[in-house]
Amino acid sequence: MKLTLVLRSAPSFPGSYNTNRFRHYIRNMACTELHPPTTVRGMTVLDRDAFIKHVRVPVLKVPENLDFNLICTQVKTLLLKMERNKPVKADKREIMLHPSVVQSWSDVRLEDKGLEEENLLWQTILLKYENWKYNEILKAVLPDEDSLSAFSKIGHIIHLNLKDHLLPYKTLIGEVLMDKIPACRTVVNKLNTIDNTYRNFQMDLLAGEENYQVSVKENGVTFEFDFSKVYWNPRLATEHEKIVKMLNKDDILLDVYAGVGPFSVPAARKGCIVLANDLNPDSYKSLLGNCLKNKVNSRTTCFNKNGIDFIREEIRAEILTKNQDNCFNGDIHITMNLPALAVEHLSYYVGLLKGESLKLTKYPLVHVYCFAKGAVDHEGIAQGMVEQNIGLALSTNLKEIAFVRNVAPNKNLMRISFYLTEEILFSNSADLKRSADVSFDSLNKRLRVNNGEKEREEPQPAEADCQKS
């Protein structure tokens, strides 16, 4: 689950979108009287008492002879709604209105003629730390208007990736999120980039309990794992779902870097036969547990291998077997979600079946992920990376190039789905490499131009001769 904080506009609320809630949030942000005190700016140690503030607001006093519920219905769009503040007090027959919307009796505009101007009073109310949302608190405290852009919620854990200038506020940020986010028991900050071997990273505990064992639900499937030891990104839920929707019941999925099973387990639940592999022993352990928990262990075989060995051994064997099995009516899918290295491992498909006397009837469909870095043409960059590593230009065997998500400025996560043809699987890798060195020269030149690099003009032959002389 991803929660987004945009400090200059409205937040992305967890759960279903609520128009009235959004409207009242905008009103509160636009009304400076309802902001936290300006004195909290720059606070590094959370002092909840420092947020106490007195504010004057309009209150509608409804006489006993009028229908209180009817009046509430008529003014419901004018209510002052804040955290832990009840704008309607039926016992006192009072309705608290928003000070930026109702500034005089003419702003009330009730249909019931029984109310008069004297029924609109101004009262002083006490606002405290409890009355503001996390984003309102952090906007008031942090030095920049757009300091904290987003964070992820994984089970009971809030996961941050703080910029250096926010590190002095890290404990305060952790405590605020602990206070304000429902079911949050742990707040952590990522300390370094993802390790390419096991795809995990070190974390700094900012608030709460040091408990990283989580249970999350994605696309109807429950996963359990230790977040500090495995790779999990809730922002990939949509992509996981897209791939699983491509699969049919009779298909086989070969998951090279399976992690804890976000592709494998849903595919097996759909009825596919799955071979899932991950080098990380903690991921492998969680993968086994998730298959058992979701009752798909009978359709899933798990491996704890290097991805290259999995390609050379299990994938090679499955391609051969399924192309010789007349009873296999499905398709072969291969997922390769290791963006930092997966495209480089594509070279191991070249010549994978060399020496075998077999006519392919089932062409495996590879879904490989990579990071495309550049100002423009991320599709071209991603395609070029695939082509350089298999030594062939993608043509009719290219199924799709898909944008997955933006990772950083000028850096996108892309998926390239393409078929492994006989030319790839039976070719001599050395021959393809030699042809690739020439054929991709123009491709590299085009990619450099698309990324804003001015192409140097090659000297004309006459000029070259003069330079030599």
Confirm whether 458 is domain-assigned. no
Same domain, 61 and 38: no
Closest CA to 25 of 12, 14, 38, 37: 12
Q: In what order do the strands lie in the sheet with 150-154?
A: 2-4, 150-154, 157-160, 186-190, 203-208
Asked if residue 137 lies in contact with residue 51, where contact means CB atoms within 8 angstroms, the answer is: yes
pLDDT score, position 37? 96
Same domain, 5 and 71: no
Asked if residue 394 lies in contact with residue 343, where contact means CB atoms within 8 angstroms, the answer is: no
Give the CB-side neighbour count of residue 371, counting CA atoms within 13 A: 11
CATH for 186:
3.30.300.110
Confirm whether 460 is domain-assigned. no
Confirm whether 271 is domain-assigned. yes
* Total-model pTM: 0.81
Same domain, 108 and 46: no
Q: What is the Cα–Cα distance from 313 to 334, expressed in whole angstroms?
A: 14
Confirm whether 190 is domain-assigned. yes
In residues, how long is the chain?
A: 469
The mean pLDDT of 6-18, rounded to a whole number, is 39
| Structure tokens that stand for 134 in this block | 């996390």
Band of pLDDT at residue 31, cut at 50, 70 and 90: confident
Same domain, 205 and 240: no
Domain boundary among 101, 127, 153: 127
Confirm whether 65 is domain-assigned. yes
Q: How far is CA 342 from the centre of its chain?
A: 20
Confirm whether 455 is domain-assigned. no
Name the β-bridge partners of 323: none
Same domain, 158 and 70: no
| Structure tokens that stand for 212 in this block | 């990283």
DSSP 106-143: GGT--S-TT--GGGEEEEEEEE-GGGS-HHHHHHHHSS
Most confident of 39-48, 201-210, 422-431, 446-455: 39-48
Confirm whether 221 is domain-assigned. no
Band of pLDDT at residue 457, cut at 50, 70 and 90: very low
Q: What is the Cα–Cα distance from 369 to 400, expressed in whole angstroms?
A: 12
Same domain, 22 and 145: yes
Q: What is the Cα–Cα distance from 9 to 117, expressed in whole angstroms?
A: 35
Please count the structural domains in the chain.
3
pLDDT score, position 40? 96
The mean pLDDT of 305-333, rounded to a whole number, is 95
Q: What is the Cα–Cα distance from 453 to 211, expressed in whole angstroms?
A: 48
Give the Cβ contact number of residue 166 at 10 Å.
Answer: 18
Same domain, 309 and 175: no
* Type of residue found at 315: I
- For the cut 60, the answer to whether the pLDDT of residue 186 exceeds it is yes
- For the cut 60, the answer to whether the pLDDT of residue 22 exceeds it is no
Confirm whether 86 is domain-assigned. yes
Same domain, 44 and 66: no
- Higher pLDDT pick, 460 / 135: 135
302-307 — which CB contacts under 8 Å span 24+ positions?
302/258, 302/276, 302/277, 303/275, 303/276, 303/277, 303/278, 304/277, 304/278, 304/279, 305/277, 305/279, 306/279, 307/256, 307/257, 307/277, 307/279, 307/336, 307/338, 307/341, 307/342, 307/345
Same domain, 266 and 396: yes
Domain housing 323: 232-450
Band of pLDDT at residue 2, cut at 50, 70 and 90: very low
Q: What is the Cα–Cα distance from 397 to 394, expressed in whole angstroms?
A: 6
Domain boundary among 154, 180, 211: 211
Q: Is 413 exposed, middle or buried (0-12, 13-18, 19+ CB in 10 A)?
A: buried
∠ CA 160-414-226, nearest 5°, is: 40
Give the CB-side neighbour count of residue 220, counting CA atoms within 13 A: 6
pLDDT score, position 110? 78
Name the β-bridge partners of 188: 159, 205
Contacts of 230 (CB under 8 A, 6+ apart): 198, 199, 200, 259, 260, 280, 282, 283, 286
Same domain, 259 and 338: yes
| Structure tokens that stand for 139 in this block | 């906007």
Q: What is the Cα–Cα distance from 377 to 451, expressed in whole angstroms?
A: 7
- Mean predicted lDDT score pLDDT of the chain: 86
∠ CA 302-303-305, nearest 5°, is: 160
pLDDT score, position 468? 32
Domain boundary among 127, 159, 175: 127
pLDDT score, position 13? 37
Asked if residue 277 lies in contact with residue 307, where contact means CB atoms within 8 angstroms, the answer is: yes
Q: What is the Cα–Cα distance from 307 to 345, expressed in whole angstroms?
A: 8
Strand pairing class (273-277; 300-303)? parallel
Same domain, 291 and 236: yes
The mean pLDDT of 406-428, rounded to a whole number, is 93
Same domain, 182 and 117: no
CATH for 240:
3.40.50.150
Q: pLDDT of 123-137, one tens digit each?
A: 999 999 999 999 999
Task: Reduce the DSSP state of residue 276 to 3 states and report it.
Answer: strand
Q: What is the Cα–Cα distance from 7 to 145, expressed in whole angstroms?
A: 6
Strands in 11-142 per DSSP E:
53-61, 88-89, 94-96, 120-127
